[in-house]
Amino acid sequence: MNAPARTLELGRVGESVKRVDAIPKVTGEFAYSSDLFAAGMLWGHTVRSPHAHALIEEVDISEAVGMAGVHAVLTHTDVPGAKAYGLEFADQPVLAIERVRYFGEPVAIVAAEHPEQARRAAERIRVAYEPLEPVVDPERATEQEPIHDGRPTAGHGFRDDPRPNVVRSIVIRHGDPDAQGEVTVSGVYELGIQDQAFLGPESGLAVPDGEGGVDVYVATQWLHVDRDQVAPCLGLDPEQVRIHLSGVGGAFGGREDLSMQIHASMLALHTNRPVKMVYNREESFVGHIHRHPAKIWMEHRAKRDGKLVNVRARILLDGGAYASSSAAVTANASAFACGPYAVENALVECACVYTNNPPCGAMRGFGAVQSCFAHEAQMDKLGAELGMDPVELRLRNALAPGDSLPTGQKITGSFPAAEVIRRAAALPIPEPEELPRDALRLPGGSGNTTRGEGVRRGVGFAVGFKNVCYSEGFDDSTAARVRLAASDDGIAAVVHCAAAEVGQGVVNVILQTARTELDLDEVVLGSATTSSVGSAGSASASRMTWMAAGAVQLACRAAKDELERRGGDLEHGETIDVERVYHHRPTTPLDRETGQVTGDGAHVAYICAAMRVVAEVDVELGLTRVVWIGTAQDVGKAVNPQAVYGQIEGGIAQGLGLALMEEIQTQDGLITNASFTDYLIPTTLDMPPVEAQLVEEPEPDAPYGVKGVGEPPTVVSTAAVASALRDATGRQLTRVPVRPDEIVGLP
């Protein structure tokens, strides 16, 4: 069941190397977690709440337990250990107890010989609910009955906010929040709920080890923190739960939280059989957290020359039923609310609330996407008000090393905001194409809706940034282990690192780093697992390249030192085996009242990108075509340039999806479009060609000067596409996704 050890064609840091998983993925040979199989395995199924908010009066499993092929039917009373878990706050029941708080919340689990038997048994579990009025309007949530007893997120060093249903609220006061400018623009901006929409639904296999422990093979983002949540709920020691990474079909933050890990483990330990669980597409939509929908008010005060004087923002995030990583998303949305601009005065108020809407948590861009959409709309508006070129306005305010963020943190290290703006703005945009054209090169695409009638062209620009690595004192490290042994050709190396390959290319990063450091071609990467190496931290926050390269570099250098100490060679059968843990420089919390930094600062480093978008809009039909995107991105150092370009294009596609079509629709907390038929994601026809420029300004503290690349394209592209649509239509377009009904009917 272990994935085979992985090798790749030779390559050192800085060289474009074909992804080791590329060919297997495009030829259909890659083994995803949904392909797992074990002899004698059972299939698990989850019984989920059909209500967004209800009391559970009774769960009657009597009919289900006796059905053919059924081996186990479990409810919250069968959870062996802690009854609740969570990434930051253990507020989420393993299986619902007395109350369900969101549509699709797990209530019971079944294991049977065949998945269809499990499904039918699940249908026979009678759950008596007493529906409660769901809390679905985040603006009213702070005045309604609390949906959690007590305050799960209180007492964690956060600002005290006594209102009901507050997950976290932050106030950042910087300079003089009352400072006046000569020009003021304001607006209210909204973003719908975006789903990660990874193609590989949640799936995995739990195998009992016969000694009370369990091995879990699963598609996840952070193996060790999965283990640290699973083990207590099973009442086991951490060593008794071993998490092994299986083939991941995309993650984008949506696999940071647990899905089927505890459930499959409970069923496996209960039946003493391997248990496999695979969510279907509809279940995947309700079975993981989403991007926070947001409502944002912003006011920008500036001088006539365009220099920002004061930015005031109020941000409301809907966290849904459980906390997940909402507290950190709140911090990010606040810290980056003003964009990559130097602002001496700011007042940012941000709150995330509990509701009975779908739970929200980590998704690529993590709070910065929402803020970027708002601050860039504001910058466009300010430019229009001042009659100033949008690029010039942004350059005039670009944040640079030595400047401070609104949190008071001084920018150190690499921060080439002005450079990415200049480079993106310098990219030549394509000339308008002649008519007639193929329908596929017009708004409306294959629908053949125009031959040019109603089509207007627009050019948009946006800049955005966010942090790399975790923040506010949450300093997760990365471990790597290197084993050297004699081989026929000299020395061979095996590297172990629990970094999750989620499609971003970290396997290549690890191998390229090891080859560079050891100056060896013969390097093999072992499976990512909790049983052979320490925590790698999460494959998120654009941190994995930096942290994995740092850890592998340390371990390789230690192994090399040891090899030299032993005279530079190994006898047959002699090995060197070292593990090292890499830490980035420490961070410290924000002051809970003022939102100002304490100690070293809340963030490690930053990554920024600028983007220029050409779009065409058929203003009579409200249909769009994104024609071209040019971007310049601050990457520190590209370890594998080809993979970096891939991340930029993929990240843009995801942000374009939010700009144009992606939105989870809800009605009273129920998800109404949980399918790829009704939740639209971009196709290749929706994606324009992308011209990307890499700005390589090394980060002084990081191995080889690397930063991260996964998130900035997503942060910026939503804002940049919306900007181009605004330019084409003359409309404000204050909400994404921008739908045809917000464009049609233009005079």
Partner 1 sequence: MELLRPESAEAASAALGNGSVALAGGTELVPLLRDGIVRAEKLVELRDVVPRGFDGTRIGAGTTLAELEVDPQIPQALREACSLAASPQLRSMSTLGGNLLQATRCWYWRLNFPCYLHGGDVCHAKAGQHREHAIFGSDRCASAHPSDPAAALLALGARLHTTARELPLSELYRLPTDDNRDVTALEPGELILELDVPQPEASVYLKAMERRKWSFALVGVAAARFADGVRLALAGVAPVPWALSSPDALEQATPLPGTAYKVDIARALIRRAVEAVGAPRSA
Closest approach, Cβ 115 to partner 1, in A, equals 13
Q: Is residue 445 a contact point for partner 1 (CB under 8 A)?
A: yes
The nearer residue to partner 1, 575 or 675, going by C-beta atoms, is: 675
The nearer residue to partner 1, 5 or 685, going by C-beta atoms, is: 685
Cα dihedral sign, 260-266-271-274? positive
Residues facing 634 on adjacent strands: 695
Q: Is residue 447 a contact point for partner 1 (CB under 8 A)?
A: yes
Q: Is residue 199 a contact point for partner 1 (CB under 8 A)?
A: no
Closest approach, Cβ 120 to partner 1, in A, equals 12
Task: Tell me which stretch binds partner 1 (CB under 8 A): 412-420, 439-447, 546-554, 607-615.
Answer: 439-447
Residue 237 CB neighbours (<10 A): 11
Out of 180, 186, 448, 575, point to the residue binding partner 1 (CB under 8 A). Answer: 448
Q: Is residue 686 a contact point for partner 1 (CB under 8 A)?
A: yes
Number of residues near partner 1 (by CB under 8 A): 35
* Strands, sheet with 70-74, edge to edge from the N-terminal-most edge strand: 70-74, 106-112, 42-48, 275-278, 203-208, 214-218, 241-245
Q: Is residue 295 a contact point for partner 1 (CB under 8 A)?
A: no
Task: Tell me which stretch binds partner 1 (CB under 8 A): 57-65, 79-87, 415-423, 620-628.
Answer: 620-628
Query: How far apart are the C-alpha atoms of 46 and 278, rounded to whole Å?
Result: 10
Out of 574, 685, 700, 730, point to the residue binding partner 1 (CB under 8 A). Answer: 685
How long is the chain? 747
Compute the chain's Rg from CA coordinates. Answer: 26
Do the Cβ atoms of 315 and 336 come closer than 8 Å?
Answer: no
Out of 137, 683, 689, 700, point to the residue binding partner 1 (CB under 8 A). Answer: 683
Task: Tell me which stretch binds partner 1 (CB under 8 A): 51-59, 153-161, 444-452, 702-710.
Answer: 444-452
- Nearest alpha-carbon partner for 99 in 60, 133, 50, 53: 53
| Residue showing tokens 């609910």 | 129
Q: Is residue 31 a contact point for partner 1 (CB under 8 A)?
A: no
The nearer residue to partner 1, 545 or 717, going by C-beta atoms, is: 717
Q: Is residue 433 a contact point for partner 1 (CB under 8 A)?
A: no
Do the Cβ atoms of 273 and 41 come closer than 8 Å?
Answer: yes
Structure-derived torsion over alpha carbons of residues 645, 648, 652, 654, reported in degrees to the nearest 10: 110
Do the Cβ atoms of 45 and 109 come closer than 8 Å?
Answer: yes
Q: Is residue 454 a contact point for partner 1 (CB under 8 A)?
A: yes
The nearer residue to partner 1, 593 or 678, going by C-beta atoms, is: 678
Out of 46, 450, 467, 647, point to the residue binding partner 1 (CB under 8 A). Answer: 450
Give the 3-state secondary structure of 315-348.
Answer: EEEEEECCCCCHHHHHHHHHHCCCCCECCCEEEE
Tally of CA atoms within 13 A in the half-sphere of 356 that contains its CB: 27
Burial per residue of 554-584, b for 16 or more beta-carbon CB atoms within 10 angstroms, e otherwise: bbbebbbeebeeeeeebeeeeebebbbbbeb
Helix (H) or strand (E) holding 84: strand 84-85
Q: Is residue 134 a contact point for partner 1 (CB under 8 A)?
A: no
Residues facing 694 on adjacent strands: 633
User: Residue 546 is encoded by which pair of tokens?
Assistant: 């930096």
Out of 104, 250, 390, 444, point to the residue binding partner 1 (CB under 8 A). Answer: 444
Closest approach, Cβ 661 to partner 1, in A, equals 5
Closest approach, Cβ 449 to partner 1, in A, equals 5
Task: Tell me which stretch binds partner 1 (CB under 8 A): 5-13, 446-454, 575-583, 723-731.
Answer: 446-454
Closest approach, Cβ 740 to partner 1, in A, equals 6
Task: Tell me which stretch binds partner 1 (CB under 8 A): 31-39, 171-179, 466-474, 622-630.
Answer: 622-630
Q: Is residue 665 a contact point for partner 1 (CB under 8 A)?
A: yes
Out of 673, 691, 698, 701, point to the residue binding partner 1 (CB under 8 A). Answer: 673
The nearer residue to partner 1, 180 or 665, going by C-beta atoms, is: 665
Helix (H) or strand (E) holding 518: helix 506-518
Q: Is residue 62 a contact point for partner 1 (CB under 8 A)?
A: no
Tally of CA atoms within 13 A in the half-sphere of 165 that contains its CB: 26
Task: Tell me which stretch binds partner 1 (CB under 8 A): 356-364, 437-445, 541-549, 603-611.
Answer: 437-445
- What is the CA angle 587-591-595, rounded to 5? 100
Site map 726..745 versus partner 1, x via CB under 8 A: -------------xxx--xx
Q: Is residue 440 a contact point for partner 1 (CB under 8 A)?
A: yes
Residues that bind partner 1 (CB under 8 A): 440, 444-451, 453-454, 620-623, 625, 660-661, 665, 667, 670, 672-673, 677-678, 680, 682-683, 685-686, 739-741, 744-745
